[in-house]
Amino acid sequence: MNMTMTQKILAAHAGRTSVEAGELIQARLDLVLGNDVTAPLAIQEFRRAGGGGVFDPERIALVLDHFTPNKDIQAAELCRTVRKFAAEQGIVHFFGAGEVGIEHVLLPEKGLVGPGDAVIGADSHTCTYGALGAFSAGVGSTDLAAGMATGRCWFKVPRALRFILRGKPAEYVGGKDVILHLIGLIGVDGASYMSMEFGGPGMAGLSMADRFTMANMAIEAGAKNGIFPADETALDYARSHGASRMAVFEPDADAVYDKTIEIDMSALAPLVAFPHSPAGVRPAGEAGDIRLDQVVIGSCTNGRLEDLRTAAGILKGNKAAKGLRLIVIPGSPEVYLRAIEEGLVRIFIEAGAVVGPPTCGPCLGGHMGVLAEGERALATTNRNFKGRMGHPGSEVYLAGPAVAAASAVAGRITTPEAVTGGGRERKAE
Amino acid sequence: MKLRGKSHKYGNNVDTDVIIPARYLNTIDPAKLASHCLEDLDPRFAAAVEPGDMIVAGKNFGCGSSREHAPIAIRGSGVSCVIAADFARIFFRNAINTGLPILECPEAAREIRPGDELEVDLVTGTIADLSTGRSFAAKPFPAFILEIIRAGGLAGFLRDKAGEAGGEG
C-alpha cells in the first residue's frame, strides 16, 4: 500500500481496499453542504433531473450565510427557495436567521463533520474540514444536486503534495501566514487537482483554528482538498463538539507524493498578499506605505474565537485610525457569544469597530462592507481577486488577524509589533 | 458537434469573481447572469459577444469560487466553447455539468489571436484557426461527456436517461 491520507479516505468511501491516483471512483458521502447562493441552483437542477426525495435528510446541511440577513428582494427570494426546500424535505441541519454562522465555522462547531469523513459542499472553501482529518472538497450546484439525491459523488483520485511543518511560529504568526507563505511558494495553481497534505512535528503547535485557516485556503493554490492527520488536538475538538464519526487515516509510510516541501514556521514573519492574487505575498513589514479605507476581521478563514482574541489583544486600549472603517464579524453565534462573554466585543466596539452578524459579510463583495472605486481594504478573508469586495477598481490585501488589527490602528499596513511596541519583548518584562 | 465563432482572448487565472461578480449572484437567471459576464475583466464583452463566439484563455481558467453561475453566465452569453491551457478543477466539473463545452489545449491558447475566426469539432477535439490556417489538437471528450453536453448539462442528461428507461421523466 502506498496511499496518501486522501486516497485512503476515498478508498474507504468507495468500498475499496485501495485506489490509485487518476482513477475515477464513486464515493459515499457523509455530508453534503449548500448555501443561499449555490443551493437555489442545485434545487432547480435537483427538480430538473426528476429528483423526488433527498438521500438522507440528516446528512445535508443548508446554511443561509452569504447574503443574509436578506440583502435585497432577489436574495430574499433565493433564501425562501432554500427554506421551503428544507421544510419540504425535512432537512435536519438547516440554518437560518439567528442560527446562521459562516458554514465552515459552523459545521465543525456543530459536530457535523468528523475525522475520516468524505464531504462535498457547493462552496469552494469546503476544503476547510481537512483540518479535522476529513476529505472535503468544493463542487458546483449540479454536483450538490446529485449529492443530495444520491449521497454519492464521482471523483478523480487526486495526486498529492506533502508539506512537512517544522518549528514554532513567532507570537504574531499564525495559520494564515503559513498558508499564505505556501501559496506564495507554489502559486495559485501550484496544487491544481491535487491534495495538499500537511504533517510534521510542527503541526502539534498549531491550534485547530490555525489548521482550519490553512485547510480553508488550499483552494487558493488550486487544490482539490487540504488535509491534516487527525491527532489528539483534532480528536479532542471532534469529541468535544459532538462529532459522531471518527476514523483516523494516516498516510502510508511509502505514500507517493509529487513533491515534499519542508517549512520552518519559526522563520516566518507576518505576511500580506497584495492585489489581485493570494500568491502575491510579502512580509507586512515590507509593505510600503499602503493606506487603508477598511479593515475586515472575520470570514470562514479567520472568524474563529482564537482569531478574535488575537485581534482584540492588539486593539485593546487602541482606536481604529480616523476615517478607517473597521468591521469585525464573529464566525458563528457561539463565537459571537463567547466573544461577548470574554469582553472581546467591548474591545472591538471601543476601538470603533462595527461588529456584524455571523455571515460571510463583505468577503465576496455582496453585502455589508462593499468597497467604492479606488478604495483599499485589508481583510482576514481568503481572496483578493479584482472586484472581490466591491468595485472592480478597489483593492483587497489579505492577512491574518494580528496584522489586520494592527493595520486598523495604524490606518495603513503595518506589523503587529509596530502597534504593540515589540510584542513578545514587552510581555516578557 | 461543430462550433464556429470568433475568439475573445484573455490571460492566465481568469477567476470566477471576474467571470460573474458576486454582486450579481442574487439571481440564477442565465440571461441576467450573461448580461454581466466578464464585466470586471472586460466591460465590453457582454455587448460585443455574438452567438457561437469562443473564449480563449491561459492557465487555470475559472479558479476561485465554486459558483456554477460562472459557466451558466458564459453559456448564456452565447459562447459556444471555452479553450484554455487548463482549467481549475471545480470550474471543469461545473462546465460539463451545465453543458458548456470546454477544451484544454495549451498550444491553441497560446497561438490563437483575439478576433480570429475559429472552428471547433468537439468529437475529434480539433481546433481550426480559420484566420491563420493553423490547426490544433485538443484531447476530445469521451462519448458520455459529449452526451451530457448535448443534453445541456447533467440534469438534462439524467432526465433523458430516465425517459429512455421508460421512467416517468
Specify the higher pLDDT residue, B169 or B85.
B85
Residues of B numbered 101-160 whose beta carbons fall under 8 angstroms of chain A's beta carbons: which are they? 153-156, 158-159
User: Which residues in chain A come in under a pLDDT of 70?
Assistant: 422-429
How sure is the predictor about B165, in pLDDT bands with cuts at 50, 70 and 90? low
User: How many Å lie between the alpha carbon of B133 and the closest alpha carbon of chain A?
Assistant: 32
Q: Cα(B38)–Cα(B44) distance, rounded to whole angstroms?
A: 9
Question: B167 and chain A: CB distance < 8 Å anywhere?
Answer: yes
Nearest Cα residue in chain A from B25: A37
- What is the C-alpha separation between A364 and A335, in angstroms, rounded? 21
Sketch out chain A's domains with CATH numbers. 5-242+256-263 (3.30.499.10), 274-417 (3.30.499.10)
Which pLDDT score, from 0 to 100, does residue A63 have?
A: 98
Does residue A216 contact residue A150 with C-beta atoms inside 8 Å? no
Distance from CA of A74 to the nearest CA of B (A): 5
pLDDT at site A61: 98
Contacts of A422 (CB under 8 A, 6+ apart): none
pTM for the predicted model, two decimal places: 0.96
Contacting residues for A240 by C-beta, under 8 A, at least 6 apart = none
- For B7-56, what is each residue's pLDDT tens digit? 999 999 999 999 999 999 999 999 999 999 999 999 999 999 999 999 99
Coil/strand/helix, residue A303? coil
SS3 B74: helix
Q: Which residues contact A222 (CB under 8 A, 6 or more apart)?
A: A188, A189, A190, A191, A192, A193, A194, B60, B63, B88, B89
CA distance A162 to chain B (A): 19
Q: Which of B67, B156, B158 sits opposite A37 (nearest CB)?
A: B67
pLDDT band (50, 70, 90) for residue B167: very low
β-bridge pairing A325-328 and A294-297: parallel
Task: Give me the interface pTM, i.e. the ipTM.
Answer: 0.93
CA–CA separation, A137 and A134 (whole Å): 10
Q: Which among A292, A317, A306 has a CA at the least distance from the CA of A400? A: A306
Grid cell 504533517 is found at A199
- Looking at beta carbons, which residues of chain A come within 8 Å of B163? none
